[in-house]
Structure 1
């Protein structure tokens, strides 16, 4: 398809470690993809924060520094720093340092992480019944699957151990709203402690860092981003059941600010593009295995090789069906059409695409084909 007046496209990279590969290879692949994404015309290059799993993006600020140093114009950032594992001061100083080296190119995305887990455990302990499952909905062409019950994952001993290892013994994360307010105050130079003591972050204060809030539902994150007038990231690739509602909640709560006069939304999608639909389906055939390793509580395994992986069982597929039916897989035209549907239904101002394949060259090709089909500045469609 030829996309008319498309919104910008950006990249979300998890720095996946493929089966048979190494962490250093995954990190080098991230830098290589970033250079090419810049040349192809993608607007931003964002990395995620994950720990104790087979993805290499565990230290976003360090990885952002490497990516920014290897590029020159593309915006580079985190989607998102998990505030349950970080202090406001530590985040501002790290991203202030990045801005000092790469002024005006750094995006600071903020996510709730451990606070969502604490809320889910509290709800489970209270005996509150989860809402009854609903059927898959097709909304103006966009697949909206039933919500995935996250309770089992959030309550897993492995996840609890991971969170414990990321904090000092006995530490309690402040409320997300409070941490975001502290980050904005430290960046503005207006931070005061509860006792009224001024503290100034150097580097950090007056850094030209763009702050984002990320959310998966029409909950606290969407409302906070709207109230503060910050840009908002909605995660269709993680929580496709609630993306539309999250965007609507953000827009309903939005108040103009010194950051934005109008709401600005980026929506994520998982996509694999190849020269034809059949090849793309083969390259994406182990995505379900990878998603299952996460959903089952084991944590992301090295990305499986389609040439050797056994098919998912019916039970395994059921656990990840919502992720499979909302992954955009196919030829450039097929994927561009589905992405444009996502843009149209959500009203996204920008789309961020995450592509994971076993071979690095296939991932590069996926982003290159999509850039050409979408008509990005670096690769206009012939």
Structure 2
């Protein structure tokens, strides 16, 4: 079975570098991904992180689309709690007008309260590790998180329910939007061919909205691995055929790093735990260290426990090892497509990882 492979790029900033270099690297990597045959190239939306430059997905998507020829380019995801439906449609409508038929508009919830977690132990499902859940409530409830969320919205603004925003985006694109008895038309935006996606990290609202609206759904194994099975199951249970899809379409993400040998891959992967720790402690992603810098940083048992689920579910090794684990992820989740994200200090190692993975994956899936 031919299963497309796509890329999620966070535009990571390496230690000793800056945002400009990170963004130029993202554009260069996208060109290489285009040539290697990857299906999509998505960029994320992150704010107030010293180690991540992708704060404005629509702007970055425009730069990538202009620098590539074939590959689909999109957002993974626009955080709609910080934007209006009109602004999202106009931005992506503009991009679609210039690069018709290549845009993906991935939507994600933002700023909502996390649901309660059910304590559980690690389990292995048909070869796939489903780790114990990480409780994000403490992180989401931190004063820093609240301050950042406030800065990203207009004073006093309250985002509408996620389903309402998705419905408004769909109707603006379709040209059927009405407000206060008036027909409202977005130019550019109305009639855009951008492919609409919903991204989700649990079996909650995002999965339900994607299913009920018959939209493709991207489930998040690389950040919320404990919830991936419930997310895809909830989406499929809620699915109703639409003009877009007659059956569910699931994309699943994974964090990977491929090198010529397992030993080299593990060496290049060694700074990852410190980077994840910086996110999980609420300070925001640090500039990505070198392996030598990472080796000199303090590390405790408490740190290890904080990031263990992310380390244990990252696929690190040679091409054969990583493709085998990706195949397990695909089989257990029933994914129609896989989305990989890779971070290294040296951009050349990231490109090499994508090259080795593409070669091995395309051989096994054609």
- Return the TM-score normalized by structure 2: 0.97
Selected match of 1:202 from 173, 187, 210 = 187
Q: CA deviation at 1:131?
A: 4.7
What is the aligned partner in structure 1 of residue 223 from structure 2?
238
Cα displacement string for residues 150-171 of structure 1 (whole angstroms, at most 9, x for unaligned residues): 0111011111111111111111
Selected match of 2:285 from 285, 289, 300 = 300
Selected match of 2:257 from 272, 275, 284 = 272
Would you say 1:51 and 2:47 are equivalent positions? yes
Q: CA deviation at 1:189?
A: 0.1
Q: Is the 8 A contact 2:15 2:290 kept in 1?
A: yes
Would you say 1:360 and 2:341 are equivalent positions? no
5+ residue gaps, structure 1, are 124-129
Would you say 1:161 and 2:116 are equivalent positions? no
Q: CA deviation at 1:113?
A: 1.1
Q: CA deviation at 1:172?
A: 0.7
Q: CA deviation at 1:311?
A: 5.7
What is the aligned partner in structure 1 of residue 362 from structure 2?
375
Cα displacement string for residues 126-148 of structure 1 (whole angstroms, at most 9, x for unaligned residues): xxxx5552110000000000110
What is the aligned partner in structure 2 of residue 126 from structure 1?
none
1:50 match: secondary structure: coil
What is the aligned partner in structure 2 of residue 31 from structure 1?
27
What is the aligned partner in structure 1 of residue 336 from structure 2?
349
What is the aligned partner in structure 2 of residue 7 from structure 1?
3
User: After the TM superposition, which parts of structure 1 deviate over 4 Å for at least 4 consecutive aligned residues?
Assistant: none
Distance in 2 of aligned mates of 1:268 and 1:132:
23
What is the aligned partner in structure 1 of residue 171 from structure 2?
185
Q: Is the 8 A contact 1:192 1:199 kept in 2?
A: yes
Q: Structure 1 residues 185, 226: closer, same or farther in 2, change over 3 A? A: same
Distance in 2 of aligned mates of 1:131 and 1:22:
37
Cα displacement string for residues 268-317 of structure 1 (whole angstroms, at most 9, x for unaligned residues): 00000000101000111111100000001111110111112236321101
Q: Is the 8 A contact 1:9 1:353 kept in 2?
A: yes
1:168 match: secondary structure: coil
Q: Is the 8 A contact 1:40 1:376 kept in 2?
A: no
Distance in 2 of aligned mates of 1:265 and 1:339:
14
1:100 match: secondary structure: helix
1:93 match: secondary structure: helix
Where do residues 212-231 of structure 1 align in structure 2 (5 Å cutoff)? Answer: 212-231=197-216
Distance in 1 of aligned mates of 2:167 and 2:286:
36
Selected match of 1:146 from 113, 126, 132 = 132
Q: Which moved more, 1:305-314 or 1:57-66?
A: 305-314
Give the RMSD, CA atoms, in angstroms.
1.4
Q: Structure 1 residues 263, 160: closer, same or farther in 2, change over 3 A? A: same
What is the aligned partner in structure 2 of residue 127 from structure 1?
none
Q: Structure 1 residues 317, 6: closer, same or farther in 2, change over 3 A? A: farther
Distance in 1 of aligned mates of 2:298 and 2:263:
17
Would you say 1:91 and 2:88 are equivalent positions? yes
Would you say 1:109 and 2:139 are equivalent positions? no
Q: CA deviation at 1:352?
A: 0.3
5+ residue gaps, structure 2, are none
Cα displacement string for residues 206-249 of structure 1 (whole angstroms, at most 9, x for unaligned residues): 01110000101111110110000000000000100010110011
Distance in 2 of aligned mates of 1:243 and 1:57:
24
What is the aligned partner in structure 2 of residue 70 from structure 1?
67
Distance in 1 of aligned mates of 2:257 and 2:5:
14
1:272 match: secondary structure: strand
Distance in 2 of aligned mates of 1:20 and 1:313:
25
